[in-house]
Amino acid sequence: MPDQSAHWNAVYESKAPTSVSWYQAYPKASLKAIDLIGAQDQPFLDVGGGASDLAAVLLERGWRDLTVLDISDAALAVQAQRLGDRAQEVVRIAANITEWVPPRAYGIWHDRAVFHFLTNAADRAAYVAALRVGVRPDGHVILATFAPDGPETCSGLPVRRYSAEGLAQELGDAFTLLHHWREVHQTPGGAEQPFTWAVFQRR
């Protein structure tokens, strides 16, 4: 994949975080996944977390070991601004997930609407290689991508669309599919976007 940081920086520098198509007032489906896992305060990595409020909500729930990774510096700056006084409680990493080598293993790896941008098989293989290093044994992976009948593009970029079984194939034998469901996201502009949510556990 060509480095797309310029694309994403331009998005976060030109649009209000509440106006992008993936904006949600509350990260309901992510919390559903976390509650299904029954997780409390585990080392948590939000891959492509952007300006999402998920880290803020987890801080409110008492979580303490939170990392947000994003290809866009601008996204991370917006996120820090939204966190305000609590910004220093979250680790922010500017990196392309297909080039990043996790320095540690997390209890939960969360990705809402990032994996689906990896249209190139080599990038998906690199992502899964990072997953194998970055998720501890028995740790969990929460993945959300556009569903098979979802949009063909996101933020003007082409995406691949997945069923839960398709995601399980991509992750391979090292991860067991525990839960999956369909969510129809309402964009701020009023469009409907079907998502596949899937929760995996590392074997």
Ligand X SMILES: C[S@@+](CC[C@H](N)C(=O)[O-])C[C@H]1O[C@@H](n2cnc3c(N)ncnc32)[C@H](O)[C@@H]1O
**For the chain, what's the residue count?**
203
Phi, psi at 158, each rounded to 5°:
-70, 150
Cα Rg, the chain, nearest whole Å: 15
Any contact of residue 143 with ligand X (CB under 6 A)?
A: no
| Paired tokens of 86 | 């609590």
Q: In angstroms, give the least distance from the CB of 189 to ligand X.
A: 14
Which of 72, 145, 193, 196 touches ligand X (CB under 6 A)? 72
Any contact of residue 154 with ligand X (CB under 6 A)?
A: yes
With respect to ligand X, which residue has the nearer C-beta, 122 or 176? 122
Which of 43, 45, 52, 83 touches ligand X (CB under 6 A)? 52
With respect to ligand X, which residue has the nearer C-beta, 80 or 203? 80
Angle of helix 5-14 relative to helix 73-83, nearest 10 degrees?
40
Segment near ligand X (CB under 6 A), from 57-65, 96-104, 172-180, 191-199? 96-104
With respect to ligand X, which residue has the nearer C-beta, 5 or 201? 5
Question: Strand runs (DSSP E) across the chain, as ranges?
Answer: 44-47, 66-70, 90-94, 106-112, 135-146, 153-154, 157-158, 175-186, 192-202
Any contact of residue 150 with ligand X (CB under 6 A)?
A: no
Any contact of residue 187 with ligand X (CB under 6 A)?
A: no
Alpha helices (runs of H) in the chain, residue ranges in sequence order: 5-14, 28-37, 54-60, 73-83, 121-134, 164-171
Which residues is 24 bridged to in the sheet?
Answer: none
Which of 43, 50, 134, 150 touches ligand X (CB under 6 A)? 50
Q: What residues make contact with ligand X under the rule CB under 6 A?
A: 4, 8, 22, 48-50, 52, 70-72, 75, 96-98, 112-114, 117, 154-155
